Structure 1
Amino acid sequence: MKKRIVSILLFVSSIALAQQEAQYTQYMYNTANVNPGYAGSRGCLSALVMHRSQWVGLDGAPKTNVLAVSSPLDSEQRKGLGVSIINDALGPVNRNAISVDFSYAIPTTENSKLAFGIKGTANLFSVDFNKLNTFNAASITNVKNNDNRFTPNIGAGLYWYSDKTYVGVSIPFMLENKFYDNDVQYIASERMHPHLIAGHVFKLSNEIQFKPATMIKVVKGAPLQVDLSGNFWFSEKFSLGAAYRWSAAWSAMAGFQINDSWMVGYAYDRDVTRLGNFNSGSHEIFLRYELFKKIDKVVAPRFF
């Protein structure tokens, strides 16, 4: 019963606090989700598949699936194109989004570029009220059992990067669309989520490198979200790291660069809030494939 109560509260809070965006621990590998300037920046055709099961053991807990593909469009690697598909489910809410990103990069130094990106997104937002426990059916007689809404959105971002450092600012969704504003007694609205991301790679020895990264997200009506992470790379093949989501969760991460094309990664989160008493943690796994041309020379795997 406690788990069901918490799951209903999660649904209500997601509407009230406008936290529509999915949560990721390994955000440093899924940058295109928050910044369209990232499209094509890896210099090759890159495909990422990611799955996240959040708050395992809690009824109606979030589950997220991601497919993202991006590539440069020209030999100078100034133009980039990306497409991503995201399915995010939370209790009775199911959201499918298809985004297209376009970026244009200009050199700032011999080894760095500044990319300007734009994002266009088509959202299908649906709620199945049959999945909710109803305590007073008379109060919701005018509510449809299934409510489906289609909304478009746009976003933009700046992404500066070199072979060792990156910094980006973006607003992936700029339009504040509203739901349930006609025949239902409550209103939910999307709100802008400005993002700041940054990371750097430090060479500690010939075999060990260290990469700290951060993502800061701001949205009206919710606390400031700050994610901090650090990954150690060993022999450019294996990584171990930890992350902290401010006042929310600790995380452990591991990754393996199978070869120049394939990489797999895993993260486990544990809540530090009272919500941690009702679940066994969160799991996140990704698989990345990259197609290099035969004339390309890969000196070392890119860490972002």
Structure 2
Amino acid sequence: MNLVNPAYAGVDSITVVSSTLRKQWTGIANAPETQAISFGTSLGKKLGFGMTVINDQTFIEKQTFVSLDFSYKLKMSETADVYFGIKAGGSSYNVNTLGLETYNVQSDPALAAISTFNPNVGVGALYKEGPMYVSLSIPRLLNTKKATNDAGYASVATDSPHIFLSGGYDVPLDGELSTFILKPSAMLRYVSGAPLSLDLTAMLQIDKTFELGGMYRTDKAYAAMATVVISKRLVFGFAYEMSARPELARARNTNEMLLQFRF
């Protein structure tokens, strides 16, 4: 979660290293791919420190975002804590035009490679009380420039800040299902100029070693997800996402893998 909210760095005084690999729309060549790695640890009772690296690649476009995360814990009661976080870093953005095929004998001088670096900062807050949490964050506050296609011509566009609001609650089951915990959660994403996107997720934890569940996204996407605790420190997860939108029928599925190590 500290990929989108720096307040998660060092939360619950746990040191965690996580890596994810997401390959979107496997039926389309050069479709978006994302690799990410995050680290978080506590520095005493109130401070947390972390680091995130996110690499996105689509066709000839590549962007790598690196940041340091800092969090501060404020105790509200015996069971409730508030975490505040700040994220500081920047992204390198590249467009490799050598990956383009043209019909010209000579190279087109308009197809020059693009390479920029954009510094950025982000903020976040997290409220935790027992089995419940609420998270609000803007991981990148500053607008960043990138290339875009404008009526067949390459131009420079600006990325707007994304706002993430999420929450969840762990519900232990009773009786014969006492080894089961139901984990419903939701995440709302907002960016200017685009429709709201809401993820509704439900996971069922079995004996603290296995989780199985699903997700529904309001832009007509579905996913089946599972995680397994391989050892006390190692967790593996996999998500298989599908779209019900007709225009993405040939795009097929999206796969995402998670590998997490806890110290």
Cα distance, 1:139 vs structure 2 = 11
Equivalent position of 1:36 in the other structure: 6
165, 182, 196: which one aligns with 1:196: 165
TM-score, normalising length: structure 1: 0.80
Structure 1 residues 253 and 185, CA gap change in structure 2 (3 angstroms): closer
Equivalent position of 2:257 in the other structure: 285
Equivalent position of 2:33 in the other structure: 63
Equivalent position of 2:184 in the other structure: 212
Aligned-residue sequence identity (percent) comes to 30
Tell whether 2:225 aligns with 1:268. Answer: no
Q: Do the aligned partners of 1:270 and 1:276 also contact (CA within 8 Å) in 2?
A: no
How far apart, in 2, do the equivalents of 1:260 and 1:59 lie? 38
Tell whether 2:95 aligns with 1:114. Answer: no
- Secondary structure of the residue aligned to 1:187 is strand
What does 1:128-277 correspond to in 2, within 5 Å? 128-134=96-102, 141-144=109-112, 146-179=113-146, 186-205=155-174, 206-277=178-249
Structure 1 residues 222 and 259, CA gap change in structure 2 (3 angstroms): same
How far apart, in 2, do the equivalents of 1:124 and 1:285 lie? 24
Identify the structure with the greater strand proportion: 2
Q: Which amino acid in the other structure matches residue 74 of structure 2?
A: I
TM-score, normalising length: structure 2: 0.92
How far apart, in 2, do the equivalents of 1:290 and 1:73 lie? 16
Q: Once the two structures are superposed, what CA deviation does each residue of 1:107-134 show, in whole Å capped at 9, x if it has no partner?
A: 1110221011000122001011232454
Structure 1 residues 139 and 163, CA gap change in structure 2 (3 angstroms): farther
- Please provide the CA RMSD for this pair: 2.0
Number of residue pairs aligned between Structure 1 and Structure 2: 256
- Name the stretch that deviates more: 133-142 or 268-277: 133-142
Q: Do the aligned partners of 1:88 and 1:94 also contact (CA within 8 Å) in 2?
A: yes
How far apart, in 2, do the equivalents of 1:39 and 1:163 lie? 18
Structure 1 residues 46 and 134, CA gap change in structure 2 (3 angstroms): same
- Name the stretch that deviates more: 124-133 or 63-72: 124-133
Q: Which amino acid in the other structure matches residue 190 of structure 2?
A: V
Cα distance, 1:135 vs structure 2 = 6.5
Tell whether 2:14 aligns with 1:82. Answer: no
How far apart, in 1, do the equivalents of 2:247 and 2:105 lie? 28
Structure 1 residue runs without a partner (length 5+): 1-30, 292-304
How far apart, in 2, do the equivalents of 1:171 and 1:133 lie? 38
- Secondary structure of the residue aligned to 2:2 is helix
Q: Which amino acid in the other structure matches residue 150 of structure 1?
A: F
Cα distance, 1:151 vs structure 2 = 0.7
Equivalent position of 2:67 in the other structure: 99
Structure 1 residues 137 and 188, CA gap change in structure 2 (3 angstroms): farther
